[in-house]
Structure 1
Amino acid sequence: MYFIILFVSLFISSFAAECPKFKTQSAFDVTKYGGLWYEIERSDIIFELGSRCVNATYTLNPNGTVDVFNQEINLMGEYTSIHGTATVKDPKVPAAFVVQFNSGIKGDYNVISTDYINYSLVYACESILGLKVEFIWILSREKTLSDSIINELQTILKNFGADISQLKPTVQKNC
């Protein structure tokens, strides 16, 4: 009996650990995406805990890669930054990148939706040791974004099965 309960529990938890299926923005133009973006909301990410004034600048390189420069004020009140390069994984999916940072950190960066002018919704998911780890960023060209756009982007996330309960606003004051 205990074996059956354990098996069923493991079976159910294995589904919970799977990353949801999602699509990136199909008609993506990286040249329009370049420039400064402010982080409006994010999932609980260990390397960003307590950070504020987070922003990212993306610059298209001549070889087609994208220069990534992220800045923040960390939990200790110190300015920190990290630099990396984003590369499109597959030319047929132009909004799906892998980013290699100079610190050795590597991760996915999938643009789910953007209008290039106001907002961008970025998502990545990894299954690590049987746990689903989601990385979600809602970005804006300004330090604020309307509640209606935030709600619309959260609905997109919910519709493909992302956990939006972990989203937290990023403080963009006193930067």
Structure 2
Amino acid sequence: MQKTILPIIALALFGLANAQIRSKGACPSPAVQSYFNLYAYMGTFYEYAKYPSALEGNSKCVRTVHTQKSKNVMHKVDTLVDPTTGKSSDYVATATQISNGKFTIHYSGQVTPNNFWVLFTDYISYAVVYTCEPASGNTHKTWIWILTRQRVPSAATVAKAKNVVSSSGFDPSLLTVTDQSKC
């Protein structure tokens, strides 16, 4: 029994470790939302699609709620539902605006903050968010999210968001759509 379980656990952990988009070289520096309005960005967004993420795995009903803490700081709560157990988990962060749509984000329990860049938002229907972190061997890991104000966005909203992903130099075909059903 143990001989069967260990390889399964190893494969699961290997899958989680490789559940990001890795590329050679340094993190890209795409253009971000200029004249970013932090107040207009506040509120609830639903995750429409994302680059694969070890943290999120195959979570469903993912949403993020932003509230403004101060002039350049927002409080962020990401809620994810495990589709197997139905249990939800919250991930709490503080994001500090460093310029326009660029933030540093620090999740509770995290040692070093990450970048959190809003590539574009129209504030009322969608946002495209980017994070990148250097990895070993002159590589980096990239995450892209399409966030929408509607749990099930219109096709037009999705097309606009995917156009932002593409025009920012990223591959929209690598996005996986998040299950927002039966939330």
1:97 to 103, 112, 118: 103
Q: Is the 8 A contact 1:21 1:160 kept in 2?
A: no
Alpha-carbon distance in 1 for matches of 2:24, 2:172: 15
Q: Give the whole-Å Cα distance in 2 for the aligned partners of 1:20 and 1:119.
A: 22
1:7 is matched with which residue?
none
Provide structure 1 residue ranges, at least 5 long, that are not aligned to the other structure: 1-14
Q: TM-score, normalised by structure 2?
A: 0.79
What is the rounded CA distance, in whole Å, between the counterparts of 1:52 and 1:155 in structure 2?
24
Distance 2:139 2:155 in 1: 31
Indicate how the Cα distance of structure 1 residues 163 and 132 shifts in structure 2: closer, same or farther if over 3 A, else same. farther
Q: How far off is 1:168 after superposition?
A: 0.5
Is 1:154 aligned to residue 156 of structure 2?
A: no
Q: Kindly state the Cα deviation for residue 63 of structure 1 after the two structures are TM-superposed.
A: 5.4
Task: Provide closer, same or farther for how the CA distance between residues 156 and 147 of structure 1 changes in structure 2, counting only shifts above 3 A.
Answer: same
In the alignment, the residues of structure 2 paired with residue 147 and residue 18 of structure 1 have an alpha-carbon distance, to the nearest angstrom, of: 33
Cα 1:19/1:164, change in 2 over 3 Å: farther
In the TM superposition, residue 166 of structure 1 has moved relative to its aligned partner by 2.0
Match status 1:134 vs 2:134: no
In structure 2, the gaps of 5 or more residues are: 1-22
* Alpha-carbon RMSD: 1.8
The one-letter code sitting in structure 2 at the alignment partner of 1:81 is: D
The percent identity for this pair of structures is 26
How many Å separate the matches in 1 of 2:155 and 2:145? 15
Figure out how many residues of one structure are paired with residues of the other and give that number: 158
- Quote the residue 1:119 is aligned against: 126
1:86-122, Cα deviation, whole Å (9 max, x unpaired): 1012xxx221011111121632211111111111111
Taking the TM superposition and a 5 Å limit, the aligned residue runs for 1:1-175 are: 16-62=24-70, 64-77=72-85, 78-89=87-98, 93-104=99-110, 106-129=113-136, 130-175=138-183
* Structure 1 residue ranges, 4+ long, deviating more than 6 angstroms after superposition: none
What secondary structure is seen at the aligned counterpart in 2 of 1:46?
coil
CA-CA distance at 1:170 after TM superposition? 0.6
How far apart, CA to CA, are the structure 2 residues paired with 1:70 and 1:76? Answer: 19
The secondary structure found in structure 1 opposite 2:105 is: strand
User: More deviation in 138-147 or 70-79?
Assistant: 70-79
Amino acid at match of 1:103: G
Q: Give the whole-Å Cα distance in 2 for the aligned partners of 1:87 and 1:22.
A: 19
Deviation at 1:72, TM superposition (A): 1.0
